[in-house]
């Protein structure tokens, strides 16, 4: 059985859990905090961060893209992939995936998680309100872009459900 080392609030981990559920793939979950390094993570790879996919048949897959490609290559249902077949649609899906998983994460999610969860787990004091205010202001700009995209599309990435929507 596949095992996913993950943090329940990490966006990449959440994305992978959604994909596994969508494809109806059985999965064992094990908590792994990127703020509290465990021996389990260190034994897999000194630089490893969750999410990590473990299976007896393959070496550990580290990071969301390696895991996504493994899922798509080995488990995707026929004609029901979250990655579009058409190059133009696929390019748009990857553009939005990158925007959400990189820029949105860097400007909003990471601030909130590090301030509210990371500091608590590392015992580094209370969250900094100015950092949380900055994340809130950044969120307003991203909400405008989401609104713009949804005004002309059925789904975030286009007319069909895709990985961009899960991100």
Domain of residue 91: give its range: 87-166
* Tens place of pLDDT per residue across the chain (167 aa): 899 998 888 889 999 999 999 999 999 998 887 666 666 666 777 666 779 999 888 889 989 999 999 999 888 776 678 999 899 999 999 999 999 998 888 888 776 777 766 666 666 677 677 777 877 888 888 899 999 998 999 998 888 999 999 99
In total, how many domains does the chain have?
A: 2
CA angle 46, 113, 158 (to 5 degrees): 95
Q: Which residue, 75, 106, 140, sits at the end of a domain?
A: 75
pLDDT tens figures, 76-122:
776 678 999 899 999 999 999 999 998 888 888 776 777 766 666 66
What pLDDT is stored for residue 40 in this prediction?
Answer: 67
What pLDDT is stored for residue 76 in this prediction?
Answer: 75
Q: Which residue, 75, 100, 118, sits at the end of a domain?
A: 75
Do 93 and 68 share a structural domain? no
Q: Which parts of 1-160 fold into alpha helices (H)? A: 11-22, 39-44, 64-75, 87-98, 110-113, 119-122, 129-151
146-155 contacts, C-beta under 8 A, 24 or more apart: 149/96
Do 26 and 50 share a structural domain? yes
How many Cβ atoms sit within 10 Å of the Cβ of residue 43? 10
CATH number at residue 153: 1.20.1050.10
CATH number at residue 70: 3.40.30.10
What pLDDT is stored for residue 34 in this prediction?
Answer: 65
Alpha-carbon gap, residue 91 to 60, rounded angstroms:
28
What pLDDT is stored for residue 44 in this prediction?
Answer: 75
Q: Could you tell me if residue 135 is inside a domain?
A: yes
What pLDDT is stored for residue 39 in this prediction?
Answer: 64
Q: What does the DSSP assignment read for 40-69?
A: HHHHH-TT--S-EEEETTEEEEESHHHHHH
Alpha-carbon gap, residue 163 to 15, rounded angstroms:
9
Do 67 and 92 share a structural domain? no
Q: Does the pTM exceed 0.95?
A: no
């Amino acid at each position: 059985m596949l095992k996913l080392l993950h943090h329940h609030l990490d966006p990449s981990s959440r994305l992978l859990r959604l994909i596994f559920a969508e494809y109806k793939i059985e999965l064992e979950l094990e908590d792994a905090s990127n703020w509290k390094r465990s021996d389990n993570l260190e034994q897999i790879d000194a630089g490893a961060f969750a999410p990590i996919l473990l299976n007896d048949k393959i070496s550990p897959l580290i990071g969301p893209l390696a895991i996504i490609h493994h899922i798509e290559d080995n488990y995707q249902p026929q004609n029901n992939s979250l990655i579009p077949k058409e190059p133009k649609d696929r390019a748009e899906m990857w553009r939005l995936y990158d925007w959400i998983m990189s820029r949105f994460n860097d400007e909003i999610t990471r601030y909130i998680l590090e301030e509210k969860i990371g500091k608590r787990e590392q015992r580094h004091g209370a969250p900094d309100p100015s950092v949380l205010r900055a994340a809130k202001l950044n969120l307003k700009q991203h909400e405008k872009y989401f609104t713009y995209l949804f005004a002309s599309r059925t789904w975030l990435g286009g007319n069909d459900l895709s990985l961009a929507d899960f991100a």
